[in-house]
Amino acid sequence: MTSSQNSKKTSFALNQIASLGDQKYPSFELRIIFEYLSAQGYHEWCQEKLLELGISSQDLEHTFISSHQALGGLNLVMNEFYEPGLGCKIAQSYRLNDLGAIGACVANASTLGEAMEITQTYYDLIGSFTDIVNIVDENTFTNRLVDVSRLNPQVLQFLFELTFSGMVTLSKELTDQKVHIQTIRFTASLSDKEKLDYQKLFNCKVEDKSKFNEWVIGMETMLTPITKKLHSPAEAEKNLKSLLGELNKEQGLVDDIDCILKGSMGDFPDPDMISHALGMSSRTLRRRLSKMGTSFSALMDKIRCQLAINLIQHKNLSNEALADELGYSDAANFYNAFKKWTGNSPSYYRVTDT
């Protein structure tokens, strides 16, 4: 390991939101996407697909929708309209007010770096079906998206475009300065034209066929002062508490199971223990999860996968240590399970791999 690798620091945002069951997802993302498409002349298509998803335009004005509806909407849009750069076009319409209470909190940060820390702390209130890893060294800040849900590749690239393009758009609103991205790395294979389009749009280096979707900025950018304030600090904090209360009030069965599992790492409870804790029979638990298109074992796999990637990228644990942390009898059983979850070996996700 080189000295530069030793000096790197990583932080990991473990996403509570899944593409399964009755969990909640911020509605603003899908609302902005459908507003954009409606403005492009596809209003009737949008209304038809919203009906198919079981939501209305009014539902999209609420703070949260179901995560399966959000992911279903993303898949429908990709099936009909996917093209490289679509997420960049849509993200140009992002505004801090779209983020609600989180936007107000971000605007009360002192610097862009502090604003990004807030978005990571409250990652679930902004919305993403990926986890993120932030990698910091003396000169650069790297934001890495980790696909723990094995998303449709088109959905994954679209979400990545929304992420880095949205960052540029919102940073401009926050600081009144244009943020310069140094490098954008795509896992997808890009044509020469697609690379050139991204380069022209962001004036940066563009790489494809990378291990991870990442964007990189200089550390000096993180010190850029915030100039826009939406609310007073006290009002922003009050609105955030209200938003967190709303999320907790709408928390569903899958959220409850997730919380129990994440708090039990290394000594995971079995379905009987979970059902008892939730005040229902094991049979009722299985039936309710089945109606949502999931199961206890699927939820357990998702949690173990997320925690494993977290531990790999944040603590660089060995396979033996990971097996012990996640309750496996040996490293081989953990390794095989991890390959089934992600399609890759644990070493693929190590931050120091090149």
Q: Tens digits of per-residue pLDDT, 262-301?
A: 777 768 888 899 898 888 999 999 888 887 778 888 888 8
- CB-based contact 63:243 (threshold 8 Å): yes
Q: What pLDDT is attached to residue 15?
A: 56
Confidence of residue 249 (pLDDT cuts 50, 70, 90): low
Boundary residue ending a domain (247, 267, 286): 247
Cα torsion 316, 321, 327, 333: sign: positive
pLDDT digits (tens, 9 = 90+) for 128-149: 788 888 888 889 999 998 887 7
Mean pLDDT to the nearest integer, 66-78: 91
Q: Do 202 and 329 fall within a single domain?
A: no
- CB-based contact 203:168 (threshold 8 Å): no
Helix ranges (DSSP H) in 176-318: 192-202, 233-249, 253-262, 271-277, 282-291, 296-315
Confidence of residue 257 (pLDDT cuts 50, 70, 90): confident
Residue whose C-alpha is closest to residue 92's, from 199, 175, 166: 166
Q: Do 239 and 261 fall within a single domain?
A: no
Confidence of residue 232 (pLDDT cuts 50, 70, 90): low
CA distance 233 to 231: 6
Q: What pLDDT is attached to residue 353?
A: 42
Amino acid at 300: M
Q: Do 214 and 296 fall within a single domain?
A: no
Confidence of residue 239 (pLDDT cuts 50, 70, 90): low
pLDDT at 17 over 50: no
Q: Do 156 and 241 fall within a single domain?
A: yes
CA distance 330 to 88: 44
Say how many domains are in the chain. Answer: 2
Confidence of residue 105 (pLDDT cuts 50, 70, 90): confident
Q: Do 222 and 291 fall within a single domain?
A: no
Confidence of residue 205 (pLDDT cuts 50, 70, 90): very high
Distances from the Cα of 162 to the Cαs of 130, 156, 184, 229, 260, in angstroms?
A: 12, 10, 13, 23, 31
Strand boundaries in the chain, DSSP class E: 9-13, 24-26, 64-66, 131-136, 140-146, 181-185, 205-207, 213-218
Q: Is residue 327 part of a domain?
A: yes
| Predicted TM-score of the model (pTM) | 0.79
- CB-based contact 98:166 (threshold 8 Å): no
Q: Is residue 354 part of a domain?
A: no
CA distance 279 to 270: 14
Q: Do 170 and 187 fall within a single domain?
A: yes
pLDDT digits (tens, 9 = 90+) for 30-61: 999 999 999 999 999 999 999 999 999 899 98
Q: Is residue 148 part of a domain?
A: yes
Note the Cα 187 to chain centre separation in Å.
16
CA triple 134-160-227, angle to 5 deg: 65
pLDDT at 22 over 60: no
Percent of the chain with pLDDT over 90: 43
Cα torsion 258, 262, 263, 265: sign: positive
Q: Is residue 282 part of a domain?
A: yes
CA distance 100 to 78: 26
Confidence of residue 2 (pLDDT cuts 50, 70, 90): very low
Q: Do 231 and 282 fall within a single domain?
A: no
Higher model confidence: residue 252 or residue 92?
Answer: 92
pLDDT at 248 over 60: no
Q: Is residue 16 part of a domain?
A: yes
Host H or E run for residue 152: none
Average pLDDT over the chain, rounded to an integer:
84
Q: Do 92 and 226 fall within a single domain?
A: yes
What are 24's two structure tokens? 């909640």
pLDDT digits (tens, 9 = 90+) for 166-184: 999 999 999 999 999 999 9
CA distance 162 to 32: 11
CA distance 17 to 300: 14
Confidence of residue 3 (pLDDT cuts 50, 70, 90): very low
Q: Is residue 308 part of a domain?
A: yes
Q: Is residue 60 part of a domain?
A: yes
pLDDT at 74 over 50: yes
pLDDT at 20 over 90: no
Q: What pLDDT is attached to residue 192?
A: 96
Q: What are phi and psi of 178, to 5 degrees?
A: -85, 125
Q: Do 233 and 257 fall within a single domain?
A: no
Q: What pLDDT is attached to residue 220?
A: 95
Q: Do 47 and 116 fall within a single domain?
A: yes
- CB-based contact 312:40 (threshold 8 Å): no
- Domain of residue 91: give its range: 3-247
Q: What CATH number is associated with residue 259?
A: 1.10.10.60
Q: Do 276 and 237 fall within a single domain?
A: no
- CB-based contact 96:228 (threshold 8 Å): yes
Q: What pLDDT is attached to residue 62?
A: 84
Boundary residue ending a domain (247, 267, 299): 247
Helix (H, G, I), strand (E, B) or coil at 218: strand
pLDDT digits (tens, 9 = 90+) for 290-309: 877 788 888 888 888 888 88
Q: Do 241 and 294 fall within a single domain?
A: no
Q: What pLDDT is attached to residue 14?
A: 54
What are 343's two structure tokens? 């399609």
Q: Is residue 81 part of a domain?
A: yes
Boundary residue ending a domain (220, 247, 274): 247
